[in-house]
């Protein structure tokens, strides 16, 4: 007797970003209640190879969510809690003398998902060490270059309330983040479910309940699929028009860079795939514009004084540039 099971002999289909998103949300949702937008953003960044800035007050699950997404993605997770006395080598690693020989001791940056907690609590030199690694995907120490594991994703957190003794990231560094997301308070019903779902007292919620639903190889093949998403000339021109319009807003002193245009394109391709399409529409671009652009607009001192928010400028830009149909 032979078994001819179609399921057993089936070759795996092409990697599917929609299915992956659902699996990741299911896993993370066992531990983190709500905050599904932030989970999506971290997932998309891991897929396209970008980095995320999460802004929010303490205690809104920034750390928990990042840790959970890393686990669901089957990737290694590391954390750096930034402090004022931290040195660049505390991030990248350094050479140590071992049995009379110089050996490289890798720093915490050598991981798939790195949580850079309270990045604006450390001086610019140490921030720069991390941001260079993000950009280069490698670390150079004493003339030797060490490549970081792939995928490599930095999730940096900062507190929206600027405290004394913080070092705001310079514009040039902010531009390296694909997304900035504001992690707010959960909805009241979510906050109640949070208490009901995990009767675990004050212990950290059960991160161990999360099962990996993918791996680095699959993520990289999904990345290739996302990159292959079609961007026609009309939509490419629309992206460029939006980016250029940010440079002419009266409330803006420095608008979005060409790098921002590249990032908006990459994010829009992911949005298209999440919508089940293999081509980018203007709506994909509009959907991704706020999280991609909000941290890259430097407002004029007058606009700052008046309390203008970058998101208002992004909205004005989206309203002023005609949408191709
Ligand atoms: N949305 C949420 N779902 C589940 N638990 C939450 C949520 N928000 C906060 N918590 C609880 O608060 C704790 C603190 O979260 P944490 O990730 O350390 O916050 P942050 O990094 O933003 O300061 C979590 O370990 C969890 O117990
Ligand atoms: Mg935290």
Q: Which distant-in-sequence residues (6+ apart) come within 8 Å of 146 by Cβ? A: 93, 104, 106, 110, 138, 139, 140
Q: Of 301, 282, 273, 278, give the one whose Cα is nearest residue 241.
A: 282
pLDDT at 197: 77
Pocket of ligand 1 contains residue 32 by CB under 6 Å:
yes
d(CA 233, CA 179): 24
Report which of residues 200 and 225 the model is more confident about. 225
pLDDT digits (tens, 9 = 90+) for 264-308: 999 999 999 999 999 999 999 999 999 999 999 999 999 999 999
Judged against a pLDDT cut of 80, whether residue 13 lies above it is answered with no
pLDDT at 8: 44
Backbone phi and psi for residue 77, each to the nearest 5 degrees, phi listed first: -130, 135
- Going from the Cα of 197 to the center of ligand 1, the distance in angstroms, rounded, reads 13
- Going from the Cα of 195 to the center of ligand 1, the distance in angstroms, rounded, reads 11
The SS3 of residue 45 is helix
Q: Tokens standing for 263?
A: 């990032």
Residue 204 — pLDDT band, cuts 50, 70, 90?
low
For residues 60, 65, 66 and 69, what is the CA-based torsion angle, rounded to 10 degrees? -170
Q: Of 205, 213, 202, 190, give the one whose Cα is nearest residue 30.
A: 205
- Residues 161-172 have a mean pLDDT of 81
Backbone phi and psi for residue 176, each to the nearest 5 degrees, phi listed first: -80, -15
Write down all domains in the chain, each with its CATH number in brackets.
13-226 (3.40.50.300), 229-325 (1.10.8.80)
Output the pTM of the full model.
0.91
* Residue carrying the six token digits 């970003």: 17
Neighbours of ion ligand 2 (CB under 5 A): 63
Pocket of ligand 1 contains residue 60 by CB under 6 Å:
yes
Pocket of ligand 1 contains residue 204 by CB under 6 Å:
yes
Q: Which of 141-145, 209-213, 223-227 has the lowest mean pLDDT?
A: 141-145
Q: Which of 39-43, 80-84, 99-103, 270-274 has the lowest mean pLDDT?
A: 99-103
What HEC string does 127-194 produce? HHHHHHHHHHCEEEECCEEEECCCCCEEEEEECCCCCCCCCCCCHHHHCCCCEEEECCCCCHHHHHHH
Pocket of ligand 1 contains residue 63 by CB under 6 Å:
yes
Q: What is the CA radius of gyration of the chain?
A: 21
Judged against a pLDDT cut of 50, whether residue 6 lies above it is answered with no
């Amino acid at each position: 007797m032979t078994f001819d099971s179609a399921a057993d002999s089936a070759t795996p289909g092409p990697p599917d970003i929609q299915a992956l998103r659902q699996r990741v949300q299911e896993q993370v949702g066992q531990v983190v209640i709500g905050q599904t937008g932030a989970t999506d953003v971290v997932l998309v960044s891991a897929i396209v190879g970008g980095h995320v800035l999460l802004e929010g007050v303490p205690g809104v699950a920034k750390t928990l969510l990042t840790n959970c997404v890393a686990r669901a993605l089957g990737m290694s997770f590391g954390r750096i809690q930034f402090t004022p006395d931290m040195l660049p080598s505390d991030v990248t690693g350094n050479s140590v003398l071992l049995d009379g020989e110089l050996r490289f001791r890798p720093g915490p940056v050598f991981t798939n998902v790195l949580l850079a907690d309270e990045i604006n609590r450390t001086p610019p030199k140490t921030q720069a060490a991390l941001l260079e690694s993000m950009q280069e995907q490698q670390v150079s120490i004493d003339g030797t270059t060490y490549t970081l594991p792939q995928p490599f994703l930095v999730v940096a957190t900062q507190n929206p309330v600027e405290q004394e003794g913080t070092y705001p990231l310079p514009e040039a560094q902010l531009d390296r983040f694909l997304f900035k997301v504001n992690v707010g308070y959960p909805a009241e019903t979510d906050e109640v479910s949070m208490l009901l779902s995990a009767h675990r007292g004050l212990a950290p919620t059960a991160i161990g309940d999360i099962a990996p639903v993918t791996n680095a190889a699959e993520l990289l093949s999904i990345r290739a699929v996302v990159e292959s998403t079609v961007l026609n000339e009309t939509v490419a021109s629309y992206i460029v028009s939006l980016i250029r319009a940010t440079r002419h807003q009266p409330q803006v002193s420095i608008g979005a860079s060409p790098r921002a245009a590249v990032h908006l394109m990459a994010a829009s391709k992911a949005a298209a795939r999440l919508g089940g399409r293999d081509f980018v529409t203007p709506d994909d671009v509009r959907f991704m514009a706020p999280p991609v652009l909000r941290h890259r607009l430097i407002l004029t001192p007058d606009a700052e004084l008046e309390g203008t928010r970058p998101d208002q400028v992004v909205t004005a830009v989206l309203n002023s540039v005609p949408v191709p149909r």
